[in-house]
Amino acid sequence: MRKPAKIGGLLVAFGLLWADYAVAQERSLNRVADGDFESGFVSLSLPAAEQFPMFSGGWASRGRRVPDAVQETAFEGLVSMRIDTRPADPLQVIQDLPVNSPAYGMRFAFFIERGSQTVRLLDAWDRGRPDSGTPAFEARISTTGIRFTTPAGSWQFDGDVAPRQWHTLSVIADPRTDTQSVRLDGVPLILLPGVSPGRPSTIVLGGSATDSGAFRYDAIEVMSLVDLELSMLRDAVSTLDIAARGAIGERLAAAAAALDRGSTVLALPELGVARNMLGTTALATENLRLAIEELMELMEASSERSERRREQ
């Protein structure tokens, strides 16, 4: 098994490795609708034989049964979602996501009642069998370990994952290093090679042909790493005691607006101007300059991967 390692870039420059507390501060960036199941639940249920349609803004399930809303001992709030699946009778729950970059962060809470289940983040699939393609990220979870899959292959973590209690799993996919950094319960677990050239488009929870088990899920979050790093940059700039703080903030806001329109080409020059406006007389501003450069590298690496996917 590969040893865990920290990722580079903005998160290290600020001493803020993407972890549970950091995600909690960035709920506005979450691309998952009703990931806490407090204001909504599965709004589309399909028979087992049907293909999934495109479905965003909520959850869709497929199977002979439907997920359960559990109103006790949720990870956050009052409600969690329970999926009970078997190889001969799989139950899957999906949501399509508007993530704007191959660089992403994902976090979810899970509670093992029994058996195993799989969480997948897909960038392309046939809308039929989620396990038929190569995932951007996959975690097959059981009480005896977790098997991870990326576009580069599969790796097994052998270790106890206690049943009947909540756990969190988080992952950051960083095209700058072509790695995915995984944490279990906030502790670095493994550094996986391989970041998909495509943008993650669908999250899938539940069973496959080999899964049999009952799990609960809660606090599901997927966000663009570009959006996350830019948001942290804007927060850091707002605390600076320099004359150019307002102008730098305006440039970062303009970059964010360009990204909202899907334009990396327009966002990059705004970041470049913001970087050049920062002086280098203090450690804080120098760290911000470096952080902006790292973010620009992330955007360029993400664009290059997306371009390669279009050319295939």
**Region 62-83: what's the mean pLDDT?**
91
User: 245-258 pLDDT, tens per residue?
Assistant: 899 999 999 999 99
- Closest by alpha carbon to 166, among 206, 215, 214? 215
Element (H, E) at 213: strand 213-224
Q: 3-state class of 114 per DSSP? A: strand
SS3 18: coil
6 has pLDDT over 70? no
> Per-residue pLDDT averaged across 31-59, rounded?
87
52 vs 304, more confident? 52
Question: Per residue in 203-242, pLDDT tens?
Answer: 999 987 788 999 999 999 998 888 888 888 888 888 888 8
Report the candidate in 169, 81, 58 with the shortest Cα–Cα distance to residue 120.
169
Among the ranges 101-115, 235-249, 286-300, which has the highest mean pLDDT value? 101-115
CA distance 135 to 149: 7
Higher pLDDT, 142 or 284: 142
pLDDT at 89: 87
CATH number for region 10-222: 2.60.120.200
- Distance between CA atoms of residues 55 and 127, nearest Å: 11
User: What is the per-residue pLDDT for 307?
Assistant: 67
Amino acid at 276: N
Tokens describing residue 309: 């996917």
Model confidence at 27, pLDDT cuts 50, 70, 90, reads low
Q: Which residue has the tokens 């850091």?
A: 236
Residue matched to tokens 């664009």: 303
Instruction: Look at residue 193 in the predicted model and tell me its pLDDT.
Output: 96
Q: How confident is the model at residue 169 (pLDDT cuts 50, 70, 90)?
A: very high
Residue 16 or residue 152, greater confidence: 152
d(CA 134, CA 126): 11
pLDDT reported for residue 281: 59
176 has a pLDDT exceeding 60: yes
The full set of domain ranges for the chain reads 10-222, 227-311
What pLDDT, on the 0 to 100 scale, is given for residue 154? 95
- Is the separation of the CB atoms in 151 and 134 below 8 Å? yes
What is the predicted pLDDT for the residue at 279? 72
